[in-house]
Amino acid sequence: MFSFLKNKPDPSADANPPAGWRERLFGGLARTRAHLGGRVKTLFSRGKVDAELLEELEELLLTADVGMEAARYLLENLKARAKAKKLDDAASIQAALAAAFVDLLAPLEAPLDTATHNPYIIMLAGVNGAGKTTSIGKLAKYFQSQGKSVLLAAGDTFRAAAREQLLAWGERNQVTVVAQESGDPAAVIFDAIHAARARKIDIVLADTAGRLPNQQNLMEEIAKVRRVIQKAEADGPHEVLLVLDANIGQNALQQVKAFDAAIGVSGLVLTKLDGTAKGGVIAAIARQCPKPIRFIGVGEGIDDLRPFVARDFVEALFA
């Protein structure tokens, strides 16, 4: 079965964040900010960067899932800034820590450039429950806001609810959906790419079934999906996005490494940051397995998935 819905991109729209995005970002990171930013202010109220403060700060960073390597980087950076600038008040010490965070996260800030290919094929992967299918619906809305036409490929043929969910997103966004009631997921995506080319669609968002990294047969299957995409489009997929649930903390690192080995992850989507106090995992990713964070999600609304901006993220942590 194929389901086709008419595209209605808005050519007058631009890629600027929707009104209220900054407020939603700050609200979405409230739990992490309360856990990290609030306690940092108390620590820094002494106005002195000494061994005791650094030890307590390290413990605090680790409980926010920043990870040991990133924590040590931030502590060394803060110590160097404090010594060089003779920092002796809470505000300047906190500003120095925030600057160190920005320096660490800035390399992950790399928005997608979808103008390089037509259609631009984005393959999405992730474990069950990470928010992959929902993210596809939100991405469709985001790309439409840029005036792009979008096609959704329902490559999760194992879970009927996933197909129905994607069809619902297609109807909501008025975008084309290619789906089959059963069959080979690679074949669905292969057909979707040909349909997109025939219809001169700008963006193809290809869903895949959720799987755990230790399910070897399923990891081999998703590698096959990637190979089939290359048969339909020699230089595709142009982006392989791994969707990560921020609630899983340090386990995210293992997911990045495993999926990268199987399918060559080129970017990340970090979801559900509003549901965790451990948003510091972004720092761990930056230090241990750096991949561009293309989008972050801070809520359930259709506009609550936006490109990652390091400075905005850090400001929301320490506001």
How confident is the model over 95-117, as pLDDT tens digits? 999 999 999 999 999 999 999 99
Tokens of 118: 């037509």
Ranking 29-38, 98-107, 224-233 by mean pLDDT, the lowest is: 29-38
pLDDT at 267 over 90: yes
Residue 294: CB atoms within 10 A of its CB come to 23
CA nearest to 62, candidates 51, 49, 50, 74: 74
Residue 172: CB atoms within 10 A of its CB come to 13
pLDDT at 13 over 60: no
Dihedral class, residue 147 (left if φ above 0, else alpha if ψ from -120 to 50, else beta): left
More confident residue, 243 or 13: 243
What's the confidence (pLDDT) of residue 205? 97
Dihedral class, residue 9 (left if φ above 0, else alpha if ψ from -120 to 50, else beta): beta
Angle (CA) 194-243-203 rounded to 5° is 25
pLDDT at 309 over 90: yes
Q: Residue for token digits 């001169």?
A: 200
Q: What are phi and psi of 122, to 5 degrees?
A: -115, 120
What's the confidence (pLDDT) of residue 1? 41
pLDDT at 303 over 90: no
Q: What average pLDDT does the segment 137-160 reach? A: 91
pLDDT at 12 over 60: no
Q: How far apart are CA 64 and CA 235, in angstroms?
A: 39
What's the confidence (pLDDT) of residue 14? 38
What's the confidence (pLDDT) of residue 161? 82
Half-sphere exposure at residue 73, Cβ-oriented, CA atoms within 13 angstroms: 19
Q: What average pLDDT does the segment 12-28 reach? A: 70
In this prediction, what percent of the chain has a pLDDT beyond 90? 63
Q: What is the mean pLDDT of the chain?
A: 89
What's the confidence (pLDDT) of residue 10? 36
pTM summary value: 0.90
pLDDT at 11 over 90: no
Q: What is the DSSP letter of 206?
A: E
What letter represents residue 51's amino acid? A
- Identify the CATH assignment for 1-319 out of 3.90.79.10, 3.40.47.10, 3.40.50.970, 3.40.50.300: 3.40.50.300
Alpha helical stretches, state H, 45-159: 51-63, 68-85, 90-105, 132-145
Dihedral class, residue 190 (left if φ above 0, else alpha if ψ from -120 to 50, else beta): alpha
What's the confidence (pLDDT) of residue 254? 92
> Across-strand partners of 245?
271
What's the confidence (pLDDT) of residue 9? 37
What's the confidence (pLDDT) of residue 16? 59
Peptide linkage before 119 cis (omega within 30 of 0): yes
Ranking 10-19, 105-114, 194-203, 242-251 by mean pLDDT, the lowest is: 10-19
CA nearest to 15, candidates 268, 240, 303, 244: 303
Q: What average pLDDT does the segment 167-177 reach? A: 90
What's the confidence (pLDDT) of residue 187? 92
> Across-strand partners of 151?
176, 204
Residue 65: CB atoms within 10 A of its CB come to 27
- Residue 18 pLDDT level (bands cut at 50, 70, 90): low
Ranking 33-47, 66-80, 143-157, 184-198 by mean pLDDT, the lowest is: 33-47
- Residue 17 pLDDT level (bands cut at 50, 70, 90): low
Tokens of 6: 């008419």
Number of H helices, E strands in the chain: 13, 8
Side by side, the strands of the sheet bearing 203-206 are 176-178, 150-153, 203-206, 120-125, 239-245, 267-271, 293-297, 305-307
